[in-house]
DNA sequence: GAAACTAGTTTCCTGAATGAAAGTACCTGA
DNA sequence: TCAGGTACTTTCATTCAGGAAACTAGTTTC
């Protein structure tokens, strides 16, 4: 009945913190969400096109989609401005701003350990 | 010559911190690396099968591959023990332990904001 | 009326990520 | 010698993330 290969029961020790990590990662999944949040954290409100210009390599589709998901999860708020032509501004919600610790930790680690990254490149 | 759709030049303001975020995320990319690092951070040395048992849902292939990538990037060390049958132990390197801030920030945020997660579920 | 700006959505496509299962290899105890 | 444990690797299949380009839609400027 048991297949030959390993299919272990999870250990009783599945610590809360592992589940918490999983939750957070799921919320911030994808290539761009943390970058978007980090940018909004530093820059405050930003418009759609400015976000695209600031985030190297992102296309409109992914930006649109990631913003939608962040909005659904109350990380980012979306405000349609009464301008001609309409512009839309995005910013972190109060809840989104609680990600400060995560954003700063990730950013700081990247800065500090740049030399060590990716098998210690010749940079 | 310019296609009709938007393909903006990146803004001059492409802050160091955004690049740093990108770097860190690339290093920790994939579904499992941060979970693995978080587990090793809490538990110290662990063997292959114990890691699999502790991480809900991971299969042998992914565990093997993620560990290899973490090892290549000097986050995790791999030690073959002189036992019968051979066992292999993994632990964070000194460099891997500098991820503490990242791991703790992500874990803490998940714990604190569990109620807010995923559109404020009925949990 | 054509071009260009705003902010998207939709369609189509590709490559990467992931997973299940089987195979490799070695050793131990019944 | 056969089941079962260790630790993987390989193969095959599938799903999904991501990207390019076209398209919608309203407004403004030339």
How does pLDDT run across B77-99, given as a tens digit for each residue? 999 998 888 999 999 999 999 99
Q: Which residues of A21-30 are buried (b: 16+ CB within 10 A; e: fewer)?
A: bbbbbebbee
> Is CATH 1.10.10.10 the right assignment for the domain spanning B29-109?
yes
Non-local (6+) Cβ contacts of B107 within 8 A are A17, A20, A21, A24, B38
Give the model's pLDDT for residue B8: 47
Contacts of B63 in chain A (CB under 8 A): none
- Predicted local confidence at residue B3, as pLDDT: 36
Looking at residue A6, what is its pLDDT?
38
Beta carbon of B62 within 7 Å of strand C?
yes
Could you tell me the fold of the domain covering A32-113?
A: Arc Repressor Mutant, subunit A (1.10.10)
Residue B75 scores a pLDDT above 50: yes
Q: What pLDDT score does A84 carry?
A: 81
In a mutagenesis test of the A interface, which of B16, B98, B106 is the best target, namely the one with the most A β-carbons within 10 Å?
Answer: B106
> Could you read off the pLDDT of B10-63 as tens digits, one per residue?
444 456 889 999 999 999 999 999 999 999 999 999 999 999 999 999 999 999
Which nucleotide, over all strands, has the C1' atom closest to the CA of B59?
Answer: C19
pLDDT of residue B110: 94
Q: How many CB atoms lie within 10 A of CB A119?
A: 8
Distance (Å, rounded) from C-alpha A37 to C-alpha A96?
Answer: 8
pLDDT score of B84 = 81
Q: Which residues does chain A have with pLDDT short of 50?
A: 1-13, 122-123
Q: Which two tokens stand for residue B118?
A: 């995923």
| Chain D bases closer than 7 A to any CB of the protein | 4-11, 17-23, 25-28
Q: How far apart are CA A116 and CA B72, in angstroms?
A: 11
- Quick check: A83 CB within 7 A of strand C? no
pLDDT of residue A17: 87
Average pLDDT over residues B62-86: 95
The first and second tokens of residue B61, run together, are: 């292939």
Model confidence at B121, pLDDT cuts 50, 70, 90, reads low
Chain B contact set for A53 (CB, 8 A): 8-11
């Amino acid at each position: 009945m048991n297949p030959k290969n390993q299919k272990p029961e999870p250990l009783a020790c599945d610590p809360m913190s592992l589940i918490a990590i999983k939750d957070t990662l799921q919320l911030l999944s994808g290539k761009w969400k943390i970058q978007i949040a980090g940018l909004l954290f530093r820059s405050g409100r930003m418009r759609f096109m400015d976000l695209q210009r600031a985030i190297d390599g992102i296309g409109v589709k992914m930006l649109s989609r990631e913003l939608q998901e962040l909005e659904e999860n109350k990380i980012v708020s979306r405000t349609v401005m009464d301008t001609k032509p309409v512009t839309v501004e995005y910013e972190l919600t109060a809840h989104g701003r609680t990600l400060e610790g995560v954003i700063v930790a990730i950013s700081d680690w990247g800065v500090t350990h740049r030399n060590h990254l990716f098998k210690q490149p010749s940079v």
